[in-house]
Structure 1
Amino acid sequence: MSSGEQTKLIGADGLSKQAELNQESAGKQVTSKDAAEDEEVERAGCSPAFCRFPLSVYFIVTNEFCERFNYFGVRTILTLYLLKFIGLSSDHSTAIFHLFVVVCYFSPIIGGIVADSLLGRFWTIVILSIVYCIGGVVLAATAVPHLGLAGALIGLLLIGLGTGGIKPNVAAFGADQIPEGKAWMREAFFSTFYFAINLGSLLSTILIPVVRSNVYCMDDNCYALAFGMPAVAMALAIVIFIVGKPMYRMVQPGKSVVGQAACCIVSAAKNYRAASVKDADRQFLDYADSDRFPPEFVRDLRQFSRLLLLYIPFPIFWALFDQMGSRWTIQASLMDGYMFWDWSILPDQMQALNSLLILVLIPIFDCCIYPLLSKLHLSTTLCKRMGVGMLLASSAFIAAMAVQMRIDAELPTVPKTGQIKLKFVNSLTGTSSPCGVIFEYDGVTRDLAHLGFSRASLHTKTPHLWNVAMHTSPDCPDTVKRAANLTLPGGNNSYDVIVYGSGRLAAVPAATEKNRKGLSLIRVMLTNPKLADRLLDDKLILRKISRVKEGIDFALNLTASPKSSVAKGDIRFTDYQPVHSGFYSVQLVGNYTGRGEPELPNVGFSNGQIISLVLYEDSDGKIRSFLIEEVRANSVSMMWQVPQYVLISIAEVLFSISGLALSYAEAPASMKSLVQALWLMCVAIGNVVVMVVSEVRIIPYQSYEFLMFALLMLLNVFVFILLAMRYQPFSADPDSELPMVPPTSKPAPLTEQDDKSNVNSGYTAED
């Protein structure tokens, strides 16, 4: 092995090299041809390693691409399916979604145990992939005859067990295919493997929602096809994986690792308690019965316990990372996604930026950054990469906090307990000419132009009647005065006080909470009772002015559909409906009667707006309209989220890929799938942390919650550094010593003895 390769392994992947030599080589020596080839790779900086993989690796990577296309395709549309097709509430849909994610990342422990102890990795992947595929078919079937919630839950359970069960085995099985003495190739494999994961994620995240929303079947969005496509991809993954069987290097399963480990710990505990004198040179597990548990197994179990301790900080990283699909998406829903022309980004589409960035960043790090750092003699061990990744994740949440503070400064004020929010509207149409109106209430005066509205204001809520006086402005030829004691309906804290007709007053409930998906909320209001009679059998249509002719219908047969509309006195209004941003033509369709044709101008809506579109009759009997802006549009551009996505994506490249390599390299041969499952279980624990924090809600402001996670991540980095410094790398020879090569020194020739002791925990004395 060349001296250049020695430096690379110590600086980048010494852990994997040591485990490789001890567990797989078993005394085999790296040939001079391999050493020369590796030295050439080191000099080149970025070798097309994926071109040198064994052919079996391509079958495994393709299988992973199809599987991730399946998983993220289901995950992307699952919440909408439960909410709109199954008919669950938003809270129940969210709970089932998170429960599905938890099952997906807790079940790897089952797959790891089965692979290492019973079936081996190949047959575990095949059998659980079939279970996975059946789950996808069941889920798709529930969207055809509508089998209901029970069928959907069965399908999701099978998918969760399948994807979780195969996940730890596919990565380990792929690494098994790399020849001995090829640590650089194994590192390249994990980068390629992760590239396939994100490519499948990106394509399904973009394609499956388009299929769902643009293909119609069963008089609804075609969820059957949207779930069916991932199921077909999974079937294809099974076929591809089985075709490659003759080329795979197989590792035979051993005895039940979990059962043996439990018995070993019990044996050690009994003997330790029974020992009258404790040997200071013996560790706890060394007290296990040597006739039942050979030294090699005790050594492997000790290594597993060390890894378990090292993994303690990992769930916090995933607690931050997975908030891209929850907190960051909710944050995006309060931002403006408009880009140019008629194109806007939806809040849930921002998540695709992460997958896109990963596809770009992986080759940049492998081909540019890591080789450059190596040439500069800067150590880049796996643990160091992970530590930097954690720091960047904390920085991403600092950026998210800054964005959230900017959003909070422009959010509408929501009335607190004991408060009401009032907006005054001048819809006076019963005079001979347009007239301004002056409102007087609670010692406040509001002067509004014709068809104008005031800004909302907060007032103390009392159980008494609300006294409001109004009169026309002095320049109005028609004098209209009116005073009214308004009874504010219960169950709401925000109202529009409207003057209409010939001087009538009414209080109409108004929305204050923005749409969580970032859309506009629109309702239609009629302030003239005669107009409501004219439009009894009609409907108003908002037709988008763009290449996509999106239409939103508002039924105006208000008296005939009391469940879908609410009336207050003579004013009638529909429920709010979510509408995508853009420009719309206002079309009145039906058999309306009266003088003149409707004159309804085009309207434009922006993300986050809450609008009441008011229809009224003018003095000539024509139907006209104007808009009341209940809540202003989002004004902070969604592009402000790009820095936090860049930071979290770089953090993912550094932390996740290095963590996969670390999990494989430091795992004993008999526990590799089990350790990969432990790595994935950290994701599930991180999701549980987020669920607990969101449910307890001890922090009232979202920006402060982001700050809390950032500080928690910084503390987590400190803990990880301490654990990494104390961590003892896996070694079959406990007497071997680490060759200390200063980063600035010229590498010395590597001997065979040096090659066997090449290991580094990531944080050494020279660091």
Structure 2
Amino acid sequence: MTTTAAAAAATAPGKMPRQIPYIIGNEACERFSFYGMRNILVTFLASSALLAYLPAAERDAMAKEVFHSFVIGVYFFPLLGGWLSDRFFGKYNTILWFSLIYCAGHACLAIFENHLTGFYFGLFLIALGSGGIKPLVVSFVGDQFDQTNKDKAKVVFDAFYWSINFGSFFASLLMPLFLRSFGPAVAFGIPGALMFVATLIFWLGRGKYVRVPPTRGRDPDTFGNVARTALTAAAPGEGRPGWWIALAGAVAAAAILAGWAAQALMHLAGAGAAWWPQAFDFVKSACVALLVLIVCGGIGVALQLERARGRHPDAAVNSARAVLRILIVFGLITPFWSLFDQKASTWVLQGEAMRVPHELWWWPSWLVKEAAQMQALNPLLVMLIIPFNNLVLYPVLRRMGFAVTALQRMGWGIAFSALAWVVAGMIQLHIDGGTPTSLAWQALPYVLLTFGEVLVSATALEFAYSQATLAMKGVIMALWYLSVTFGNLWVLLTNVAVRNEAVIQRIAATGLSENAFLMFFFAGFALVCAIAFALYARVYPMQDNYRTA
């Protein structure tokens, strides 16, 4: 590992690194830009001329489809960013160049507010830019610490997450008002300006950072190389079950993509493939193919991993085993993201069917005028809950003899998110009953969901970094963000399923509306996974992989 002289001087043993404020400032502005456009996206699309080609009754569903497809892209492209950083450019250079792409995407949204292709291209650039830097900024924070000052890392990771929500709070509160008062060009342009400021702040700290150099493909003991050896190595007297499982996954993934491609080509020719679901577009097909590849490949590598010993150091093989264990943790967290990200789609649309309680003496009518502004509760509560947990809740639990581990916090977080959706479902039942329902009631599920978020997401930032070895930190962070992609995939697949006539009839037989049924369904989905997560946490072996001084 190498560092610049300035960075080495800035990171005195046991001290807080002086370069941290540049990264925190960059993150606060970048998060304002991201959430500023993200939190008005569904509202804008549902009412804009961009979706005027659809019947009015279908625009809300399409706005949700576009939103969750966009989020899938945001959390898919970390794979690309992590690979480019680890293989070629390093974290600093990759973050800087993807940030410029990010700025260009914001410009497209502001310019092409009435042009469908241009607007969607802007969303693609933002997904590429935001996703490209996403796995790197967090691990770049971790790179500024070593064994001598790693005790400061938890404080900084919490501050890092706090800064995310500081930017998100003002974006969520103000951008719906700007969209309403000044139109989409201004509402999307302001986040673009903040992204430029974020890039500038990051660049200003260039001489102070600790920069861990990229492997440039010279490391023979990366996870990919160890996995390849494990799958291809023969063992005397033993078969190759792992190889065949991984191969079956690759064939299945290729078949899924081929099915989509055949459907797309036939559609262009004016026909359709009856054997391929029309709603199963490229995003869904590619994500399902990737999921099959990861699951089958992971099982295959796990079955034959010991065959890599002797050809790779024991430390590398053990690190690969750790990656496989972490992937199980990430997989069990995906339902949380299904619930969390729908606050910017399903909950916003639910809020628009509710009544803004301007008559209440405590309601800030001068500021909160739109249902989408309720999203500001989430970052505001995060900024309150993080210090409450660190200063009050966790110390009290420790004095009571409960040392709550990172995995236990995440498991409870999934459970609280499930409870939030039970409450949201009950609110939906009230709306479906035809009684005017105050928007203020949405505060309760927001409190529960945000408490769950702090327990899951803020904890996972530190967990993911500490569990990955130095050579695999970028990849692990990319895979952590990929869990959000699969969380949003569950939302899209569920929406496809409820378009089936048989499913619609079954929902109707329950006496619930489609919205209420889906809310209770997602709550149950998360609760089941919270139980599975708690069981796995009992046997997970924790690691400590901070770099040495």
1:285 paired residue number? 305
1:112 paired residue number? 82
1:141 maps to which of 111, 125, 133 = 111
3-state SS of 1:693 partner: helix
1:425 paired residue number? none
1:86 maps to which of 50, 56, 63 = 50
2:203 paired residue number? 242
1:139 touches 1:151 (CA, 8 Å); kept in 2? Answer: yes
2:315 maps to which of 296, 310, 328 = 296
2:30 maps to which of 53, 58, 67 = 67
| Distance in 1 separating the partners of 2:67 and 2:221 | 33
1:54 paired residue number? 17
Change (3 A) 1:406 1:207: closer
| Distance in 1 separating the partners of 2:404 and 2:232 | 43
1:305 maps to which of 306, 312, 324 = 324
1:390 touches 1:655 (CA, 8 Å); kept in 2? Answer: yes
Letter of the aligned partner of 1:284 in structure 2?
Answer: Q
1:316 touches 1:686 (CA, 8 Å); kept in 2? Answer: yes
* Alignment partner of 1:397 is 2:421: yes
3-state SS of 1:645 partner: helix
- Kindly state the Cα deviation for residue 62 of structure 1 after the two structures are TM-superposed: 0.7
Change (3 A) 1:247 1:140: same
3-state SS of 1:245 partner: coil
- Kindly state the Cα deviation for residue 270 of structure 1 after the two structures are TM-superposed: 3.3
1:328 paired residue number? 347
- Kindly state the Cα deviation for residue 277 of structure 1 after the two structures are TM-superposed: 10
Q: When you count strand as a share of all residues, which structure comes out higher?
A: 1
2:222 touches 2:472 (CA, 8 Å); kept in 1? Answer: no
Matches within 5 A, 1:202-281: 202-215=169-182, 221=183, 223-256=184-217, 260-275=222-237
2:64 touches 2:346 (CA, 8 Å); kept in 1? Answer: no
- Kindly state the Cα deviation for residue 85 of structure 1 after the two structures are TM-superposed: 4.6
TM-score by length of 1: 0.55
Count of residues paired in the alignment: 448
Change (3 A) 1:662 1:305: same
| Distance in 2 separating the partners of 1:327 and 1:268 | 44
Q: When you count helix as a share of all residues, which structure comes out higher?
A: 2
Change (3 A) 1:674 1:260: closer
Matches within 5 A, 1:288-687: 288=308, 290-291=310-311, 293-340=312-359, 345-408=369-432, 410-411=433-434, 634-687=435-488
1:188 paired residue number? 155
- Kindly state the Cα deviation for residue 363 of structure 1 after the two structures are TM-superposed: 1.4
| Distance in 1 separating the partners of 2:181 and 2:221 | 52
Letter of the aligned partner of 1:689 in structure 2?
Answer: W
| Distance in 1 separating the partners of 2:421 and 2:395 | 29
Change (3 A) 1:649 1:116: same
Letter of the aligned partner of 1:287 in structure 2?
Answer: R
- Kindly state the Cα deviation for residue 259 of structure 1 after the two structures are TM-superposed: 10
| Distance in 1 separating the partners of 2:34 and 2:539 | 38
Change (3 A) 1:275 1:182: farther
- Kindly state the Cα deviation for residue 276 of structure 1 after the two structures are TM-superposed: 5.1
1:142 touches 1:151 (CA, 8 Å); kept in 2? Answer: yes
3-state SS of 2:310 partner: coil
Letter of the aligned partner of 2:190 in structure 1?
Answer: M
Measured against aligned partners, the alpha-carbon deviations of 1:29-55 in whole angstroms (never above 9, x if no partner) come to xxxx95xxxxxxxxxxxxxxxxx7322
| Distance in 2 separating the partners of 1:731 and 1:208 | 41
- Kindly state the Cα deviation for residue 263 of structure 1 after the two structures are TM-superposed: 4.1
- Kindly state the Cα deviation for residue 728 of structure 1 after the two structures are TM-superposed: 2.4
Q: Which has the larger radius of gyration?
A: 1
* Alignment partner of 1:173 is 2:134: no
Change (3 A) 1:669 1:262: closer
* Alignment partner of 1:200 is 2:187: no
3-state SS of 2:377 partner: helix
Letter of the aligned partner of 1:271 in structure 2?
Answer: A
* Alignment partner of 1:96 is 2:66: yes
Measured against aligned partners, the alpha-carbon deviations of 1:460-512 in whole angstroms (never above 9, x if no partner) come to xxxxxxxxxxxxxxxxxxxxxxxxxxxxxxxxxxxxxxxxxxxxxxxxxxxxx
3-state SS of 2:71 partner: helix
| Distance in 2 separating the partners of 1:377 and 1:284 | 41
| Distance in 2 separating the partners of 1:207 and 1:258 | 50
- Kindly state the Cα deviation for residue 287 of structure 1 after the two structures are TM-superposed: 1.2
- Kindly state the Cα deviation for residue 386 of structure 1 after the two structures are TM-superposed: 0.8
Change (3 A) 1:330 1:137: closer
Letter of the aligned partner of 2:307 in structure 1?
Answer: Y
Measured against aligned partners, the alpha-carbon deviations of 1:82-118 in whole angstroms (never above 9, x if no partner) come to 4425354425444322221111111111111111222
3-state SS of 1:380 partner: coil
Letter of the aligned partner of 2:533 in structure 1?
Answer: F
| Distance in 2 separating the partners of 1:380 and 1:188 | 17
2:516 maps to which of 667, 684, 703 = 703
Letter of the aligned partner of 2:526 in structure 1?
Answer: M
| Distance in 2 separating the partners of 1:142 and 1:724 | 47
Change (3 A) 1:296 1:392: same
TM-score by length of 2: 0.76
- Kindly state the Cα deviation for residue 690 of structure 1 after the two structures are TM-superposed: 1.3
Cα RMSD after superposing both structures: 2.6
Measured against aligned partners, the alpha-carbon deviations of 1:713-743 in whole angstroms (never above 9, x if no partner) come to 22111211222222223368xxxxxxxxxxx
1:414 paired residue number? none
1:129 maps to which of 76, 81, 99 = 99
1:137 touches 1:231 (CA, 8 Å); kept in 2? Answer: yes
Letter of the aligned partner of 1:58 in structure 2?
Answer: P
- Kindly state the Cα deviation for residue 384 of structure 1 after the two structures are TM-superposed: 1.1
3-state SS of 2:538 partner: helix
| Distance in 1 separating the partners of 2:496 and 2:205 | 46
- Kindly state the Cα deviation for residue 669 of structure 1 after the two structures are TM-superposed: 0.9
What is the percent sequence identity of the aligned residues?
32
2:123 maps to which of 147, 150, 156 = 156
Change (3 A) 1:227 1:703: closer
- Kindly state the Cα deviation for residue 304 of structure 1 after the two structures are TM-superposed: 1.0
- Kindly state the Cα deviation for residue 696 of structure 1 after the two structures are TM-superposed: 1.7
- Kindly state the Cα deviation for residue 404 of structure 1 after the two structures are TM-superposed: 2.4
Measured against aligned partners, the alpha-carbon deviations of 1:397-440 in whole angstroms (never above 9, x if no partner) come to 222232223333x32xxxxxxxxxxxxxxxxxxxxxxxxxxxxx
Letter of the aligned partner of 1:305 in structure 2?
Answer: L
| Distance in 2 separating the partners of 1:230 and 1:258 | 42
1:272 touches 1:284 (CA, 8 Å); kept in 2? Answer: no
3-state SS of 2:468 partner: coil
| Distance in 2 separating the partners of 1:258 and 1:59 | 34
| Distance in 2 separating the partners of 1:68 and 1:678 | 20
2:281 paired residue number? none
| Distance in 2 separating the partners of 1:374 and 1:236 | 41
| Distance in 1 separating the partners of 2:144 and 2:68 | 34
1:175 touches 1:189 (CA, 8 Å); kept in 2? Answer: no
3-state SS of 1:55 partner: coil
- Kindly state the Cα deviation for residue 260 of structure 1 after the two structures are TM-superposed: 4.9
3-state SS of 1:247 partner: coil
- Kindly state the Cα deviation for residue 164 of structure 1 after the two structures are TM-superposed: 0.5
| Distance in 2 separating the partners of 1:225 and 1:179 | 43
- Kindly state the Cα deviation for residue 71 of structure 1 after the two structures are TM-superposed: 0.8
Letter of the aligned partner of 2:310 in structure 1?
Answer: S
2:42 touches 2:344 (CA, 8 Å); kept in 1? Answer: no
3-state SS of 2:358 partner: strand
| Distance in 1 separating the partners of 2:450 and 2:201 | 30
2:250 paired residue number? none
1:622 paired residue number? none
| Distance in 2 separating the partners of 1:261 and 1:176 | 20
